[in-house]
Amino acid sequence: MRKLLMLVASVSLLLPTIAQAGSDSFDLVLRSRVATEENSVNYHAVLEEQNWKGAETAVIVCDMWDLHHCLNATRRGAELAPRMNALLKKARAQGATIIHAPSSCMKPYANHPGRKRAMAAPMASKLPEKISEWCYSIPSEDEVEYPIDQSDGGEDDDPVEHEAWAKELESKGLNPRGPWTKQTDLLTIKNEDYISDNGVEIWNVLEQKGIKNVILVGVHTNMCVLGRPFGLRQMAQNGKNVVLVRDMTDTMYNPKMKPYVSHFTGTDLIVEYIEKVVCPTVTSDQILGGKPFVFQHDTRPHVVIACAEREYKTNESLPRFAMEQLGNDFKVSFVHANADERNDLPGIGVLENADVLLVSVRRRVLPADQFAVVEKFIKSGKPVIGIRTANHAFSLRGEDPPSGYKAWEGFDAEIFGGSYTGHHGVGPKVDLAAAKSHPIMTGVDVNTFKGMGSLYKVNPLAKGTTPLLTGTIEGQPVESIAWVHETKYGGKAFYTSLGHVDDFTQPAMNRLLKNAILWAADKEIK
């Protein structure tokens, strides 16, 4: 496990070369998730390199229909299709078998060579039980709570627009609840491809051609992609090496349903769920090169939250905060410390594609390759948010780190402009006060704060810092509790010594931290 986890921090550096796969194979980086420790609700993202022979690989296109009863789903499918078609073309050229599976739409393809070939495939010698049926769950899913409420069908249309769309479909003689008639014409079906929506037929094709590996693309991730007879669950439980292309899919999720996050965050949650309990995922750039596909309306800045401290249980409070406060506006990735090795942040490589870093780390040093990722992000001038122990995140109090590891003793001064020297201890009452008007203080009612953890000694602050909150203990100098600063490398920085487990139960704390992240990402604070 240690070897695999260590791979995560650096493997993303390999992706540009991985995209240059051989002409008859696929070099892929499979992402799955493993619990940080037994019974934990937090997970590491684990990456594993694999080479799949083209001749042993199939790409199944799930339900990329021409139309959908949800207008937004129709639009997103049309936006997704050109990139997907390029992927199919490349996969076909590298020897993969392409199977088009637009469910309930076989009639238009009755005379197509691909349809006839699928029907003619010889019966497999050993047919999996219930391979012809929808699969609602597999045993591994019992371990994890399903992340979204899709009981309303997942439509995210504006009601007025949806009604108009239904009438338009009716005017064309189509059923507004099931208007699809064929696969979208934006995807090319070659004569050598296969066409089937039948689990038995598709399994027969896979066995006939000696297919060991299955790549799933299409919609919708939380419904058909998971549950169809040819979907992820059936492939996974019946022994195929199966992956979802996580940027070549969409989800039926309505943000008005739990957990009340954006549509795109809902998709992220489903992808993470799949990675935990069903199968790994990959991205289209691993086959096509370039960058992963992103929907045009998915404008969420990417926040990476590094959690590596036990004193204040931010590995529990920050995930709740992120779900409740950031789910509509941000894409959020968590990086948790290795429970078996404190000086290890497996998955920190995700920072390479991030916009904001939030640090909740206490006295850790990092392997050189992981440290380089953090250092590169910060020294590029990108914004950093720090809470509580972040001002001594990478400090060993001047001690030399183990061989191969790096500390950052000047992190507090260089990034936050502070000079942390300890704290006053738990017990004395701390009186909070607003120090200066600032957008981050919008809607933050300081008077509602009730108690807090020990007051940190952080003064003097560097020249140019702007204190936002101060705290006072009777008989002691005033200390800054929250402030903004420009890092030594020209990036935005916000720090607060708040972050005690009880602080996150207070609306003022949640508003303060959310505002700081919005400010760091140059998003409007309302």
pLDDT in tens, 93-109: 999 999 999 999 999 99
Q: Determine whether 312 is exposed, middle or buried from the number of CB atoms within 10 Å of its CB (0-12, 13-18, 19+).
A: buried
Residue-wise pLDDT for 320-340, tens only, equals 999 999 999 999 999 999 999
Choose between 429 and 472: higher pLDDT.
Answer: 472
Residue-wise pLDDT for 117-172, tens only, equals 999 999 999 999 999 999 999 999 998 999 999 999 999 999 999 999 999 999 99
pLDDT at 465 over 80: yes
The strand pairing partners of 29, in sequence order, are 49
Q: What beta strand segments (E) does 401-474 contain?
A: 405-406, 422-423, 431-434, 456-457, 466-472
How far, in Å, are 12, 21, 93, 202, 514 from residue 16 at the CA level? 8, 10, 20, 33, 34
Backbone φ and ψ of 48, nearest 5°: -140, 130
pLDDT average, residue stretch 210-222 = 98
pLDDT average, residue stretch 38-54 = 96
d(CA 397, CA 525) in angstroms, rounded, equals 37
Backbone φ and ψ of 409, nearest 5°: -65, -30
User: Which tokens is 395 given?
Assistant: 């400090």
pLDDT average, residue stretch 32-41 = 94
For residue 46, give the DSSP letter.
E
Whole-number percent of the chain with pLDDT over 70: 95
The confidence band for 9, taking pLDDT boundaries of 50, 70 and 90, is very low
Q: In what order do the strands lie in the sheet with 213-219?
A: 43-53, 25-35, 281-282, 241-250, 213-219, 57-62, 97-101, 194-195
pLDDT average, residue stretch 286-303 = 98
The predicted structure's pLDDT at residue 160: 98
pLDDT average, residue stretch 447-475 = 91
Element (H, E) at 217: strand 213-219
The predicted structure's pLDDT at residue 14: 36
Residue-wise pLDDT for 169-186, tens only, equals 999 999 999 999 999 999
**Residue 95 one-letter amino acid:** G
pLDDT at 13 over 70: no
Residue-wise pLDDT for 372-395, tens only, equals 999 999 999 999 999 999 999 999
CATH number of 302-520: 3.40.50.880
pLDDT at 451 over 90: no
Lowest average pLDDT, out of 69-78, 161-170, 190-199, 429-438, goes to 429-438
Residue-wise pLDDT for 59-115, tens only, equals 999 999 999 999 999 999 999 999 999 999 999 999 999 999 999 999 999 999 999
pLDDT at 189 over 70: yes
The predicted structure's pLDDT at residue 196: 98
Lowest average pLDDT, out of 11-15, 42-46, 405-409, goes to 11-15
pLDDT at 47 over 70: yes
The predicted structure's pLDDT at residue 2: 34
Domain ranges of the chain: 2-288, 302-520
The predicted structure's pLDDT at residue 22: 57
The strand pairing partners of 423, in sequence order, are 456
Residues 383, 520: contact at Cβ < 8 Å? yes
Q: Which residues of 456-486 are buried (b: 16+ CB within 10 A; e: fewer)?
A: bbbeebbeebbbbbbbbbeeeeebbbbbbbb
Q: Is 141 helix (H, G, I), strand (E, B) or coil?
A: helix
pTM of the shown model: 0.94
The confidence band for 291, taking pLDDT boundaries of 50, 70 and 90, is very high
- What sections of 94-198 are H helices per DSSP? 113-120, 159-171
Element (H, E) at 219: strand 213-219
d(CA 3, CA 18) in angstroms, rounded, equals 20
For 2-288, CATH number out of 3.20.20.70, 3.40.50.300, 3.40.50.850, 1.10.540.10 equals 3.40.50.850
Residue-wise pLDDT for 233-267, tens only, equals 999 999 999 999 999 999 999 999 999 999 999 99
Backbone φ and ψ of 76, nearest 5°: -65, -35
Residues 492, 519: contact at Cβ < 8 Å? yes
Q: Which residues make Cβ contacts (< 8 Å) with residue 130, sequence separation at least 6?
A: none
Q: Same CATH topology for 2-288 and 302-520? A: yes
The predicted structure's pLDDT at residue 20: 46
The predicted structure's pLDDT at residue 18: 41
Closest among 337, 330, 338, 377 to 493, alpha carbons compared: 377
Pairing of strands 241-250, 97-101: unpaired
Task: Please state the separation of Cα 395 from the chain's center in Å.
Answer: 29
The predicted structure's pLDDT at residue 16: 38
For residue 123, give the DSSP letter.
P
